[in-house]
Amino acid sequence: MTSTYSVVDLIRAKREGQTLEPDQITWLIRAYTDGIVADEQMSAMAMAVYFQGLDDAELSTWTTAMIDSGERMTFDGLSRPTVDKHSTGGVGDKITLPLAPLVAACGAAVPQLSGRGLGHTGGTLDKMEAIPGWRADLSHDEMVCQLENVGAVICAAGPGLAPADKKLYALRDVTGTVESIPLIASSIMSKKIAEGTDSLVLDVKTGSGAFMKTEEDARELARRLVGLGKAAGVHTTALLTRMDVPLGYACGNGIEVAESLEVLAGGGPADVVELTLALARQMLQSAGLDSIDPADVLANGAAMDVWRTMVRAQGGDPDAPLPVARHSQDVVATEAGVITGIDAMSIGMAAWRLGAGRARKEDPVQAAAGVMLRVRPGDRVISGQPLATLLTDTPASIAGAEEAITDAFTVGQSFQPQHIVADTIVA
């Protein structure tokens, strides 16, 4: 490709707060994908964007250029409407596991392209890989066949989907620019738009265990995500949800699968059920299937049937026992009172240190490691009562996890519960 612009001039322009023209942005993303723009130059541009931002027009062009760097998927031949969900990540966030089969059992096709965990947030593929035999890598034809016959698929994105994002994502991780709202928005939506789904529901989290710590930042991210979806012709809505406290009791991989199965069996933690149904209702409304009540479908066992068929279709054994950690240790209360808070970030860091997460994308994870909470906010405890159980195959990691979890539990005299969904953002 013949160079049209000086990348240094573009970096200077954005560094000084100027607006980049569409042709400049398109050239930049193409040149970076093709290796003409070097990593250190794109690092400088990412930092300039981190401080100066991108306006809505710049962000739309940036996202489109990232989509156009690779292939676009299509599910046009399906007999079901397609609808996908994306979460910005949190601690104990196993919602995709019960949600995808539930929405499929209601008549939609759910092409859930998911990722692996990094740092304190868990990855859906890591959780699913705790199931013996289950495989994440499917061809497009396999995905289409499974969506038509089963209604749901949870799998890895192929290498041809938004390759510019793969390069830029790795760069952001090592340059301190992960938290940039425009870069987060373009990363998420380039993949989701390229995926080819008819509609999309976003779970944008806010709180200590989320990337967006404040509600103000989470709202801005949700606004920009929804705007990008609308501009691309994808029916997009977002739920703003709280992530100060881990979702459910289980924070790990295999133990989150077990908790998801409790939800599919009609039980499970109240907050996990609440968020699963809230997202399901939004997804069904987007897909034009809002006459169906997902609570009824969850109760009658149809979602569990889809789960079992989905797992088998990807080589997994839904009846196989999940892995069990070789070592465990309780963390106990040091005073009596009411649990008024459980810091999600601290629990996520403890699970990561136990082996449930990874520091680099190529690191392995332990399927059985994690933190199993024994209490929730609002529970009354006495001194010496177990608050959580640390699970791992590597006992040397327990000390670091104990350090991370030391101040995670707040004990007081009273607790005022809040609904997990704070707001709904529409275009």
165 is catalytic: yes
Residue 64, both tokens:
């489109």
- Choose, from 116, 172, 192, 205, the residue flagged as catalytic: 172
Please state, in angstroms and as integers, the Cα–Cα distance from residue 146 to each residue in 125, 150, 161, following that order. Answer: 17, 5, 19
Active-site residue, from 14, 85, 127, 191? 191
- CB-based contact 113:196 (threshold 8 Å): no
17 — alpha (psi -120 to 50), left (phi > 0) or beta?
left
H/E stretch holding 124: helix 124-128
Query: Which of the following is catalytic: 84, 165, 203, 271?
Result: 165
> With contact defined as beta carbons under 8 Å apart, do 213 and 207 qualify?
yes
CA proximity to 183, closest of 7, 70, 61, 46? 46
Terminal Cα-to-Cα distance of the chain (whole angstroms): 37
> Does the active-site annotation cover 187?
yes
Active site residue 190: no
Is residue 122 within 8 Å of 357, Cβ to Cβ? yes
Query: Which run of H or of E encompasses 172?
Result: helix 163-175
Q: For residues 30 and 55, what is the distance between their CA atoms, to the nearest angstrom?
A: 20
Whether 330 is a known active-site residue: answer no
Q: Given 60, 87, 180, 187, which residue is catalytic?
A: 187
361 among known catalytic residues? no
Cβ 368 vs Cβ 253: under 8 Å: yes
* Active-site entry in 14, 30, 86, 166: 86
- Catalytically annotated residues: 86, 165, 172, 187, 191
